[in-house]
């Protein structure tokens, strides 16, 4: 019987396979400059750094289940899982589905098969579309102790075109997510345990999350409200002034975890244990500089002592 789940999420930043790997001609042309010279040595160094962070979580035991984004394909994610295992960590399996993102980056999960299992027909994905598919929602119905625990990984459209210019696409993602939560509860019951996690490219207080995803900071309303509300667990971290990503020398809290009413009430059989956490900030940070230390992907950016431009986040559930 599994009595505790440690669940994490991490944007691992541009985890691409080597420059010579098999990929579509469209993506090859789009990322050619970024991955020039990206060989087995550089990829291996990146995997070493990612493995260090992942194995450090959960008091050195590693996550039971971890969502990731910005991974190019299943093959490179399998290389990460193999590296973690060879470094003495868990032997993770992969839940993944390809997207049509313009740069070919996906959302996926690593999970410990001793803790959870996944049937092929229990994964679902949706692409957020502008004029082309961009980023995704990826749902996996994990089975733990013979019970479904639903995780929905997210990587919402970026702010590259400007925060407000790109905001409608994140609103679309939020509306889609809320509809998914409603359908999940219709299909699996109002008290099914649902954990929503990802890089939302918006803050907890932005409209895409509050008005469209119905992600709020009011547990009573989540439990008793008629709408499919989620409790956003990042508000205490936001209040502390901390963040997971920096831009222009300012903190952002784009990486977030939310939970459904069944977890808050305990009626799902699972409940929160403690608060959401930012992981590995102590050794992922630059010396005397705020923010995560990037590994980088472009030839001019690469720092083999770096990790990613985002910190991971985590929660713990108990039966």
What does each of the 319 residues of the chain score in pLDDT, given as a tens digit?
A: 999 999 999 999 999 999 999 888 888 888 999 999 999 999 999 999 999 999 999 999 999 999 999 999 999 999 999 999 999 999 999 999 765 545 568 899 999 999 999 988 888 877 565 544 456 799 999 999 999 999 999 999 989 888 988 899 999 999 999 999 999 999 999 999 999 999 999 999 999 999 999 999 999 999 999 999 999 999 999 999 999 999 988 999 999 999 999 999 999 999 999 999 999 999 999 888 889 999 999 999 999 999 999 999 999 999 9
Domain containing 33 equals: 4-318
Q: What are the φ/ψ torsions at residue 4 (nearest 5 degrees)?
A: -150, 145
pLDDT at 132: 42
Domain count, the chain: 1
pLDDT at 11: 98
CA 205, 210, 211 angle in degrees (round to 5)? 135
The CATH number for 249's domain is 3.60.10.10
Q: What are the φ/ψ torsions at residue 83 (nearest 5 degrees)?
A: -65, -45
What count of other Cβ atoms lies within 10 Å of the Cβ of residue 121?
7
What whole-number distance in Å separates Cα of residue 221 and Cα of residue 281?
32
Q: 148 and 142 in contact (C-beta within 8 Å)?
A: yes
Q: Which residues contact 13 (CB under 8 A, 6 or more apart)?
A: 70, 294, 295, 297, 308, 309, 310
pLDDT at 131: 47
pLDDT at 27: 86
pTM of full prediction above 0.85 = yes
Both tokens assigned to 12? 């691992």
């Amino acid at each position: 019987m599994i009595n505790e789940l440690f669940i994490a999420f991490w944007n691992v930043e541009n985890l691409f396979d080597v420059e010579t790997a098999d990929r579509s001609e469209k993506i090859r042309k789009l990322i050619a400059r970024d991955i020039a010279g990206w060989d087995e040595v550089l990829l291996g160094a990146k995997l070493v750094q990612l493995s260090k962070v992942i194995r450090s979580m959960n008091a050195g035991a590693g996550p039971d289940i971890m969502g990731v984004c910005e991974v190019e394909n299943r093959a490179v994610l399998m290389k990460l899982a193999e590296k973690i295992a060879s470094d003495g960590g868990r032997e993770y399996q992969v839940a993944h589905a390809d997207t049509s993102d313009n740069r070919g980056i996906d959302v996926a999960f690593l999970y410990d098969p001793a803790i959870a299992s996944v049937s092929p027909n229990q994964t679902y994905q949706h692409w957020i579309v502008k004029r082309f598919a961009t980023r995704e929602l990826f749902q996996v119905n994990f089975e733990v102790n013979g019970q479904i625990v639903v995780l929905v990984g997210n990587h919402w459209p970026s702010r590259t075109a400007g925060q407000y210019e790109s905001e409608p696409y994140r609103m679309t993602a939020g509306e889609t997510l809320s509809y998914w939560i409603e359908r999940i509860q219709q299909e699996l019951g109002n008290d099914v345990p649902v954990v929503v996690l990802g890089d939302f490219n918006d803050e907890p207080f932005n409209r895409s999350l509050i008005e469209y995803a119905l992600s709020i900071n009011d547990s009573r309303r989540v439990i008793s409200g008629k709408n499919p509300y989620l409790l956003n667990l990042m508000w205490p971290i936001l209040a502390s002034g901390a963040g997971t990503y920096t831009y222009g020398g300012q903190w952002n809290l784009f990486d977030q975890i939310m939970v459904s009413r069944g977890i808050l009430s305990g009626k799902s059989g699972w409940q929160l244990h403690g608060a959401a956490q930012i992981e590995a900030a102590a050794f992922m940070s630059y010396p005397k500089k705020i923010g995560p230390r990037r590994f980088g992907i472009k030839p001019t950016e690469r720092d083999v002592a770096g990790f990613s431009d985002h910190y991971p986040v985590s929660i713990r559930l108990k039966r």
